Amino acid sequence: MTPPSILPAQGSSLPVPLDLGGRTALVTGAAGGIGRACALRLAGAGAKVRAVDRDAAGLEELAEAARGLAGAVELHVLDLTDLDAAELAAAGTDVLVNNAGLQLVRPLEEFPPDVFHTVLTVMLEAPFRLIRGALPHMYGQGWGRIVNVSSVHGLRASAFKSAYVAAKHGLEGLSKTAALEGAPHGVTSNCVNPAYVRTPLVEKQLTDQARAHGIPEERVLSEVLLQDSAVKRLIEPEEVAEAVAYLCGPQASFVTGTSLVLDGGWTAH
């Protein structure tokens, strides 16, 4: 399939709209939060979306929300700790969105080693295997888009989040390596780096953060989560999905190996 023109029609100042008709996109962690928003955005652009998550009920809700969109949504119930299955699931995809994640807030000396291992497996090793599974098809057709949903924690560390920060920093390096190797084959690889997003993952942190910092839950949002952000609000999943969509569009064909930061000014400090 020939990629759409990078430039708008002659005499027009309008950008080329995102059209993923005929493309297959895989989104991990698609049952909720950022993943759900990405799946709906890409399906709305015409893609056939493979929605991957271990939450079967959440996937069913996604399918209901996707009714009437230009593209189709296929549900794939999958635990990403099954790395072989993850790699197989990515075969034949044109767009890969590595989004799935989990979080535990604990001091290093109290952090359970098994949880550390699981976080690194789901958030770093699984993306590697998914990229590995997707690249042969992408290389074969001379086009592909890899978008890794990283975090401001891929660029900055926070106390009590050793596994999450380590995984996101590793994902940044993996993404850049994929960009360098993929460039001769028409494949781009980028990260999207939001600050705290209004998702169940963030909402579940409130109790853990309150315990770790020794403050009431109602103070966690303003005094911990949003302390370093110049924009004092949570970012919405749909805002992150728009950044992902941009990186899949024709205007971003020269954007690769970088991190698109949506952090409300956090890293401006």
SS3 state at 52: strand
CA distance 7 to 235: 30
Q: Looking at 139, 164, 196, 246, which residue is catalytic?
A: 164
Is 147 or 208 the better-scoring residue by pLDDT? Answer: 147
Q: Give the domain ranges of the chain.
A: 24-198+235-262
Q: Looking at the domain 24-198+235-262, which fold is it?
A: Rossmann fold (3.40.50)
Is 139 considered catalytic here? Answer: no
Structure tokens at 212: 């770790």
pLDDT reported for residue 3:
53
Within 13 Å of residue 178, how many CA atoms lie on the same side as its CB?
A: 33
Check pLDDT > 70 for residue 11.
Answer: no
The angle subtended at Cα 102 by Cα 101 and Cα 105, nearest 5°, is 140
The pLDDT assigned to 212 comes to: 79
Model confidence pTM above 0.85: yes
pLDDT at 144 over 90: yes
Specify the DSSP element, H or E, that contains 206. Answer: helix 205-213
Could you give the CA distance from residue 130 to residue 117 in angstroms, rounded to a whole number?
A: 18
Report the run of H or E that residue 133 belongs to, with start and end: helix 126-141
The model's pLDDT over 44-67, given as tens digits with 9 standing for 90+, comes to: 999 999 999 999 999 999 999 999
- Helices 33-44 and 56-65: crossing angle in degrees, nearest 10, is 30
Q: What is the CA radius of gyration of the chain?
A: 18
